[in-house]
Amino acid sequence: MLAYIIRRVFQSVIVLLVVGLVAFSMFRFVGDPVDNMLGQERTQTDIDRLRTDLGLDKPFPVQYFKFLQGAVQGNFGVSYRQGRPVSTIIAERAPATLELALVSGFLAISIGIALGVFTAIRRNGIAANTIMTLSLIGVSLPTFLIGILLIYIFSVELDLLPSFGRGETVQIGGWSTGFLTASGLKALILPSITLGLYQMTLIMRLVRSEMLEVLRADYVRFARARGLAERAINFRHALKNTLVPVITVTGLQLGSIIAFAIITETVFQWPGVGLLFINAIQFVDIPVMAAYLMLISVMFVGINLIVDLLYFAIDPRLRVDGRTA
């Protein structure tokens, strides 16, 4: 077990270094931040001085090493656009994104698993077939189009829910939350549905597929032959074995909820880190872009590592293979 953990942690560190190098290299082709920071009457002396202050006059390996050195300490530099520490800016925007991801993830997992089990147990019923047909909408339609449709129906036509913004928030220490206000909760509904709909349908279809395969297994037939109740067979035996392969996909989908919140935050003008990243691209704010991608990479690698360890702990076959390898 210890050797497996060490190997996975080492692989995770290598992935982070490669992602950081690729991201930092790509930003060199986005544009020159000096052009956006200085006015039209700038002189060559002003340009050279600003490049020196920002460290852009140094070779690329030196810039990258300095970035990694600061990133390990939680220091991602100063925003070219706002002139404030990047870590402070991200800390201000993170609560909005994390709350949106938390609600979306909860809806995707709870409703996805419930509908997946229902459509597997009642696979020939009208309700199950209707749900499977409607699930194609969540899989097929792009996220931005789903968001626009929800805004048109519930904000424009019915005037029930807000179409943009986060609503009123309450400051608790260094954390701003919208869970404690009515407008904040209403503002969460449309973005969370938009962000979690694709993951919900994916989890539902995966659970249904795995559940149907488990229900055809020999030990389920044996359980029925022993006279066990269908409820016990479905939920005590079949569902437990169904969720083992679902854990991996679900964990990665939770990471993608935060990573792909960019589109949802742009559609609903949600003041999170995704919208911050889009604005940073427009103004060639390299420190903000690099910090965002590094944090997303750390999150993905961390979730993947946790999922691998959970899978290793749950599935005894992996433990046996690890001892014999």
What domains can you pick out in the chain, each with its CATH number? 93-270 (1.10.3720.10)
Q: Which of 156, 157, 246, 141 is nearest to 194 (CA)?
A: 141
Q: Using the Cα atoms of residue 160, residue 166, residue 172 and residue 175 in order, give the sign of their dihedral.
A: positive
Q: Write the pLDDT tens digit of every residue in 72-122.
A: 887 887 887 887 888 889 988 989 999 999 999 899 989 998 999 899 888
Q: 115: which 2 tokens?
A: 């509908």
Residue 135 contacts residue 201 (beta carbons within 8 Å): yes
- Name which of 197, 203, 204, 190 is nearest 137 in CA terms: 197
Share of the chain above pLDDT 90, in %: 16
pTM of full prediction above 0.75: yes
Strand partners, 170: 177
Could you give the C-alpha distances from 322 to 26, 286, 301, 307, in angstroms and in order?
A: 39, 43, 21, 17
Query: Which residue is listed with tokens 């809806």?
Result: 107
138, 189, 208 from 131: Cα distances, Å: 11, 21, 12
- Under the banding of pLDDT at 50, 70 and 90, the label for residue 324 is very low
Name residue 183's amino acid. Answer: S
User: Residue 325: pLDDT band by 50, 70, 90 thresholds?
Assistant: very low
The tokens describing 80, both together, are 């070219």
Average pLDDT over residues 288-317: 77
